[in-house]
Amino acid sequence: MGKVRQRLADLREALSVGTMLCIGTFLLSACAGWLLNGSVYAHVAEYCGIAREVSTLFSAGLFLVLFFVASRKPEALDRRIMAVVSLGSLITALLVLSFALKLEDGPSTVLGFLFLNIGSVWAASLLALALASLPSPLAMTLAVVCGMPLGEVAVALLPMPSFEVGLIAITACDALMIALLYRGSAPALDRLTGSASAADLELANPESFLRPTHALFVCAFVFSVATGYELTLNEVAHAPVSSDLVSVVLVGVALWMLLGSQNDGKEDTLFSFSVLLVIAGFLVAPFTFDSGLPSANALQRIGVDSFKMLTLLVVLSVGRRNAFALLPTFTLVRCMMALGTDVGAVAGHTSNDLASANAQAAALIAAISLFAFIAFLWIGFRKFSFADTIRGVANVNADAGASEARDSFADSGAGASAEASIEERCAQLGAEGGLTERETEIFAMLARGRNGQYVMDHYVISRNTVKSHVKHIYAKLGVHSQQELIDLVERYE
């Protein structure tokens, strides 16, 4: 009981204005998504069903573009310019879609969704940046595990409006998110845009970033197939079926995350819970084709929402260890989620079309989806751990750079004598660690605070070659980041 009281006291201390602001924007995000699927998309399906999948594909493409920009040219993400562009896109979307939905014009609807996604993608990114800017990991966790379930509770209590009202509400929610998060996201965004790019930092700090082939991104895609399947299975008037059970269970998950045992394996326990519910949803699905009961949808919705909560916490934890990996990791995860949702939606629509005429064929789709889901997990994720993913990201400080390296060796003398000290120490450490001549030269450059781009330009070699050299150097010396390497040279006598 004493531990619970202490935990509650810690949570009260973590509940700041910034935390409450993030929780409020989760509510806005949940309302926007609920209105989009249940009101606007439901109307669009009557005359241009493919527009829904195209819109989701637009979302994936925009997140992918944002991933490349954040990784390679972060200075382009100027806070003011992005706010103007995103808000302007939302206004344009409102104007275009207002006419397109009334006229039931397919091409105009698709164009309107493109502008709508520009605003919503940036709003989602600002939320991630604002969460990462909260003062403590507990404040971040509190905002996520309270905000997401409360969003489900809110939409369960609201009546579904007409598509005209829904469209206005969606654009208003996204615009309000951008306005509310403009200041809260500033610390993380300004740090990202004012430093070297993640692509350059990764060369000297390979263990501080998740590679695009990391299992986390594949897992996001696989789970999102269940998201798309759940959203479309047994649709009523082209809208997803709903169940009040979802919000109740997610509130329970939130209480467990906040008040339960604070062990290191909590992330993996939540992952197992999500997996079991998604599997149960696929198993139950064939029994709901005739009855239309929302049991399969509810099971999968709880599973995928729990997974989304887990994934966001993991991405934010990675971002707290390496602020420059936050936006690239978040945007690539969301890109994979959007792609997976599209694949699952196609499977769900196909099941609906076949259910009345050929229930066995519809059941076969559920069985194939279940087999693919389990196969991916069995083959690729038996040894995967979310907790290990977080711990495996090495801390990086882009501000360390050459100036910090120079300060480290200030007591070795000035000018050439300091350089000689670095060279001598690196040569001795390189010999002890079994470094090759080229690796020792690169080692000395990194010890002086040079980045991977400098090494590329100096030797006129490719990015992958530099990454390979750095990886070998770190492995032989037993370090995980450039700062650890600098510290190693500084301590060596």
pLDDT tens, residue by residue, 17-30: 999 999 999 999 99
Query: Considering the domain 13-201+210-391, what is its CATH architecture?
Result: Up-down Bundle (1.20)
How confident is the model at residue 176, as a pLDDT?
Answer: 98
Asked if residues 169 and 40 have their Cβ atoms less than 8 Å apart, the reply is: no
| pLDDT tier at 404, thresholds 50, 70, 90 | very low
Asked if residues 194 and 314 have their Cβ atoms less than 8 Å apart, the reply is: no
Q: Which two tokens stand for residue 216?
A: 């986390």
Assigned CATH topology for domain 401-491: Rossmann fold (3.40.50)
Burial label for 64, CB within 10 Å (0-12, 13-18, 19+), is middle
Residue 295 has pLDDT above 70, yes or no: yes
Neighbours of 91 (CB within 10 A): 13
Q: Which two tokens stand for residue 49?
A: 């069903």
How confident is the model at residue 458, as a pLDDT?
Answer: 86
How confident is the model at residue 237, as a pLDDT?
Answer: 84
Residue 46 has pLDDT above 90, yes or no: yes
| pLDDT tier at 418, thresholds 50, 70, 90 | low
| pLDDT tier at 493, thresholds 50, 70, 90 | low
Query: What pTM does this model have?
Result: 0.88
How confident is the model at residue 403, as a pLDDT?
Answer: 44
The Cα–Cα gap between 257 and 1 comes to 16
Q: Which two tokens stand for residue 76?
A: 């382009």
Q: Estimate to the nearest angstrom the gap between the alpha carbon of 200 and the chain centroid.
A: 21
Which of the residue ranges 218-227, 339-348, 394-403 would you say has the lowest mean pLDDT? 394-403
Please give the residue that has the higher pLDDT: either 265 or 243. Answer: 243
Which of the residue ranges 47-51, 138-142, 229-233, 414-418 would you say has the lowest mean pLDDT? 414-418
Please give the residue that has the higher pLDDT: either 274 or 464. Answer: 274
| pLDDT tier at 132, thresholds 50, 70, 90 | very high
The Cα–Cα gap between 96 and 90 comes to 10
Domain with CATH 1.20.1250.20 in the chain: 13-201+210-391
E strand or H helix that includes residue 262: none
| pLDDT tier at 412, thresholds 50, 70, 90 | very low
Average pLDDT over residues 65-70: 96
How confident is the model at residue 186, as a pLDDT?
Answer: 93
Residue 308 has pLDDT above 90, yes or no: yes
Burial label for 132, CB within 10 Å (0-12, 13-18, 19+), is buried
pLDDT digits (tens, 9 = 90+) for 204-238: 777 778 888 888 999 999 999 999 999 998 888 88
Domain with CATH 3.40.50.2300 in the chain: 401-491
How confident is the model at residue 153, as a pLDDT?
Answer: 94
How confident is the model at residue 154, as a pLDDT?
Answer: 93
How confident is the model at residue 419, as a pLDDT?
Answer: 54
Greatest mean pLDDT among 50-64, 185-199, 250-264 lies in 50-64
The Cα–Cα gap between 342 and 334 comes to 12
